[in-house]
Amino acid sequence: MALKEEIARRRTFAIISHPDAGKTTLTEKFLLYGGAIQTAGAVKSNKVRRGATSDFMEIERQRGISVTTSVMTFEYDEKLINLLDTPGHKDFAEDTYRTLTAVDSVVLVVDCVKGVEEQTEKLMAVCRMRNTPVMIFINKLDLEGRDPFDLLDELEAKLDIRVRPLSWPIGIGATFRGVYDLYDNDLKLFESGKTKVEAASEHITDLGDERVDRLLGGELAATLREELDLVNGVYDPLDTSAYQAGAVAPVFFGSAFNNFGVKEVLDSFVRIAPAPRPRPTDQGEVRPEDPAFSGFVFKIHANLDPNHRDRIAFLRVCSGRFQRNRPYRHVRLGKDLRFASPTAFLAAQKTIVDEAWPGDVIGLFDTGNFKIGDTLTEGATFQFGGIPSFSPELFRELVNEDPMKSKQLDKGIRQLTDEGVAQLFTQQPGNKKIVGCVGDLQFDVIRYRLEHEYGARCAFRPIQAHKACWLTSDDQEALDRFVRVKSTQVVQDKDGNNVFMAPSGYMLDLEKRENPAITFHTTSEFKTAATSDR
């Protein structure tokens, strides 16, 4: 019985956005409402800023912050909310994609001036892959932004999802007066500069009410009535199950900086966001209510102190009850491990916990046993699927600059790629190592950490590669022939899978046409039988 109740009260989600849209600011406002922090400015931005300090210092600063903000747990309206942090820099997007496998829903922040940006689209594409429910917060309404209807059209067109506004802005920029809450029929009035107080609110069920004219003035009142008529005419009422299936995104307008329109998102979130959901494994679905504990590692964080090689593995509990000091099966290694000091992250404090429930994220002290995607169970042998590796965008050959330290280099690059800092491919003969990243900064991180943590110096040599494509085929002979003929362009990933390094988009298209029996995958998701969350 306790298990069911614990599941029902948990909500595990992430806030995602293109950098600068307001993710950190919105996070902070949520934490203020949840009582997890007391003052504005308490949440440090985990952005890596280029400029004043050296990039490496910035990277370390960012790593220092990200361990304390990896999971932020707070209570709101009788719900226990686990907010998972995602990196603020696009070069670390892969980390964000992995974190998205550990949440049950997301809140997407969009800047009303800029609309849908490049990273917004990429993040949403990942959410759409597993039908993750999405709420959208259109931020910075205090600035002269775009027309709300245009923004909604753009969201639908570029993000491939239907939308339904649940709040509506009254004016924008200099004329911004507040929002109309379409869920509770409240008119909320904005007072600029007040960052911690509740908005003045009038409950108005009938928009014909003369209070609307009195509060807004005739012109704004008329526009609001007209626009809400249009909203209700164009958009169907919110269907909660369609939202939970990832087909419709409720949309809210406001200003995170001014703490305006934020409470509406949080209130709706606790009402309609899904509790922990079943998850696919290679042996069928695991339900949170299943009494036996299971979970998977979606993030690994190395110790900042180079003298201590230990790490924290972040595990999402998927079913049953996790208990401290009980032996659990590490499925990939086939051995039992016990955890004496698992940590949780209540009120921004790291505390040792005795138990954890589905939806929770715990930090496990790790001396090198874990890789991203590893499963822990009470003895069962299934493995969770769907931790994606996307084809990197940049490829370089790793060159050892100090032949006396080749062992350290090998170990270092293996451990860093286990942590998910980058992807490692190997090419035979010669055991050539190719590192694939999403952004240049990741190469800086690897070089810096190899030197400081492993005492190994390396350089990166550019290679001609456009995309990494995992290869599958029903026709084993055709696949073997391709691998043989293209041996100079075929490499192995860390699990020994064959990967074709397409030298250009043109060549990839050509190979696809000439080898119809072979499928070229640009994500590694194909490796698990089940790729959807339901």
Interhelix angle 118-129/148-159, rounded to 10 degrees, is 50
Q: Which backbone phi and psi does 96 adopt, to 5 degrees?
A: -65, -45
Contacts of 328 (CB under 8 A, 6+ apart): 293, 322, 336, 337, 338, 339, 376, 377, 378
The piece of 252-260, 419-427, 456-464, 496-504 that touches ligand G4P (CB under 6 A) is 252-260
Q: How far is the CB of 347 from ligand G4P (least distance, A)?
A: 21
Shortest gap between Cβ of 63 and ligand G4P (angstroms)? 17
Which of 83, 100, 256, 273 touches ligand G4P (CB under 6 A)? Answer: 256
- Which of these ranges, 136-144, 184-192, 398-406, 466-474, lies near ligand G4P under the rule CB under 6 A? 136-144
Minimum CB–partner distance for residue 127 and ligand G4P (Å): 17
Enter the tokens of residue 207: 């928009």
Least distance CB 155 / ligand G4P (angstroms):
17
Q: Indicate the residue among 29 and 321 with the shorter CB distance to ligand G4P.
A: 29
From candidates 13, 257, 298, 500, binder to ligand G4P by CB under 6 A: 257
DSSP 107-133: EEEEETTTBS-HHHHHHHHHHHHTT--
Binding letters toward ligand G4P, positions 10-49, x by CB under 6 A: -------x-xxxxxxx-------------------x-x--
- Closest alpha carbon to 155 in 183, 124, 181: 124
CA–CA separation, 63 vs 512, rounded Å? 40
| 258 is an interface residue for ligand G4P by CB under 6 A | yes
119 binds ligand G4P (CB under 6 A): no
Q: Please, what sign has the CA dihedral across residues 392, 393, 394, 395?
A: positive
Among 255, 377, 427, 524, binds ligand G4P (CB under 6 A): 255
Evaluated on CA atoms 216, 219, 222, 226, the torsion sign reads negative
The smaller minimum CB distance to ligand G4P, of residues 173 and 217, is found at 173
Residue span binding ligand G4P (CB under 6 A) among the ranges 57-65, 138-146, 167-175, 356-364:
138-146
**Cβ closest to ligand G4P, residue 23 vs residue 79:** 23
Residue 69 makes contact with ligand G4P by CB under 6 A: no
> Of the candidates 204, 146, 200, which has an alpha carbon nearest to the alpha carbon of residue 172?
146
Q: Is 211 left (phi over 0), alpha (psi -120 to 50) or beta?
A: alpha
Contact region for ligand G4P (CB under 6 A) — 140-148, 162-170, 278-286, 460-468? 140-148
Do the beta carbons of residue 372 and residue 299 sit within 8 Å?
yes
101 near ligand G4P, judged by CB under 6 A: no
Nearest to ligand G4P of 19, 455 (CB atom): 19
Nearer to ligand G4P (CB atom), residue 139 or residue 489: 139
Q: 151 vs 499, which CB is nearer to ligand G4P?
A: 151
CB of 15 to ligand G4P, least distance (A): 8
Nearest to 499 by CA among 522, 481, 515: 522
Based on the shown chain and the rule CB under 6 A, indicate whether residue 88 belongs to the binding site for ligand G4P. Answer: yes
Burial label for 90, CB within 10 Å (0-12, 13-18, 19+), is middle
Element (H, E) at 452: helix 440-454
The H-or-E segment that residue 489 falls in is none
Residue 208: Cβ-neighbour burial (10 angstroms; 0-12, 13-18, 19+): exposed
Nearer to ligand G4P, 144 or 226 (CB): 144
Closest CB to ligand G4P among residues 257, 339: 257
List the one residue out of 168, 257, 263, 251 whose CA is nearest residue 216.
Answer: 168
Chain contacts with ligand G4P (rule: CB under 6 A): 17, 19-25, 45, 47, 88, 139-140, 142-143, 255-258
